[in-house]
Each structure stands twice: as C-alpha cells, then as structure tokens.
Structure 1
Amino acid sequence: MGCTSSTSSDADGATDLSKPALSRQTLGNASLGDAADALTSAFVKQHWDASDLEAKYDLSGSRQLGKGAFGVVRTCKRLGGGGGEYALKTISLDFASASALKELKNEIDIQRAFDHPHIARIVETFYAKPTGPTE
C-alpha cells in the first residue's frame, strides 16, 4: 500500500511540489479544517506503478513489525539522499471486492489527512493491480 513515517519526508522528491495541489476554488469553498486536511493530503505522493517502490526503497534486510489478516508491516530504507527508515504496509488486493477496494481508498484518504506526532503519517502510496479474481 505505501510507506509511512512519523518524521517529515526527505527533500529528495518524496513530495511533488511541481504541480499545484489545490485550486483557489477548492480552498475558497472549504472550511479552515477542510483546507488544512486538503493541504496535508496534497503532500502525499501517489504512485500507480509498484515498480516505483523498488526504485525508491531498499527492502533487503527489512524486518517484520506486524502482521494482520490482510497484510504485513515491514521496515524499509529510502534510497539516495538522506535515507531514513520507514514502515511499509503491504496489503494483498488479490481477493478484494470492489467495495473493499473503495473502503481501503477511503481509509487511505482519512489517514493521509492526519498530522499528529503519535500517528504514523503516510508519505507515499503505491498500487499494483490485483492478480486474482475480484467481485
């Protein structure tokens, strides 16, 4: 699913500031809280090709931090400038129904809006198409 960290992202491209994330209309129609959530969400880099994950993070030597019914959380290290250790949560989508995928996307959207020192922050998300059947 993606990488999370409780520290700020590195300056080596973890966030893409080259494109405006919000329009004036988006901010103009939002409450202050909604605008803050939208700005926080705008700094989460989304990747639609899982090969980007291997190009940006070293998964060798990682250790398992936790395991659940749908996935595993492991450590990983960022490649290049500054490095840094992150938690990588992998969720199997092979047998997820369309409604389960929608709920997962909603959970990611909620999580990326959090900015709290005791809650892991989503830094990047990676998506790979499921290989198994879906409903």
Structure 2
Amino acid sequence: MTNVANTKEAFVNAARQYMCKAVISAVPDIAPYDGHLHVKMFNVREMTDFFQRCSEFESSYDDGLNGVREKALMIVDQDGKPMFYPDSREDLEFLADLPSKVLAAVQDHFFLINGDAGLKKQLQDAKNS
C-alpha cells in the first residue's frame, strides 16, 4: 500500500508544476487577424463542459450556426477569458461573417493545443520557466 501512496504522491507533485499556469496560444496564420484570437488548453473539466455544450447545441438549435457556436467556445483573449458567447446572437452573426479560413484555423489550433502537441508545449514551457 505504501508503494501506491508514494507513486501517487510522486505523480501529484510532478503534475502540479505543469498545472499551475494556463496555456494560452495565439491562433497563427490568419492575417490580418493574427495576434487577436487565442485558444486555451482545457483541463479535463473544461473539455467535458465543452463537449457537453456542443451536444446541447445540436439538440437545441436548428439554425445552421452550431459550428459557429462551438468556435465561440474555443476563442479566448490573451488572458484566457472568453471573447465570444454562443448564446449571443450578435457574437454569432459577427463570427459567421468572418472568412471561413479564420474559424477553421481556430478549430485546428484549438485541437492542436488540446492534443498531444499542446501537452508537449506545456511540458517544454514548464521546463523553461
């Protein structure tokens, strides 16, 4: 039992150094919008909430904007705070009028950051700080 407790304690201590700071990343290659749109690495709770909200969109709306609602959940400012809200018609209309390449880049970068590449970046950044 002690070995399990020691293993758990070692993992928790090692993991905490990477959990202390949010990873916020600017979405690249979307000129002239570069540097204005960011995505955040989600923790397990945030990712679960994200997928739950996306599921709710599918069952609640039939206006063709569910993909835009999902992108609204992905976009944050440089401090990690949401910039757009999926329940705001004004926000949805604005996002829907952007070039499709912009929202595609947001989605690609969101899943890049929240996949293996994002975790590797977080580990590297933690080692460098």
Structure with the bigger RCO (C-alpha within 8 Å, sep 6+) is 1
**Greater share of residues in strand:** 1
**Greater share of residues in helix:** 2
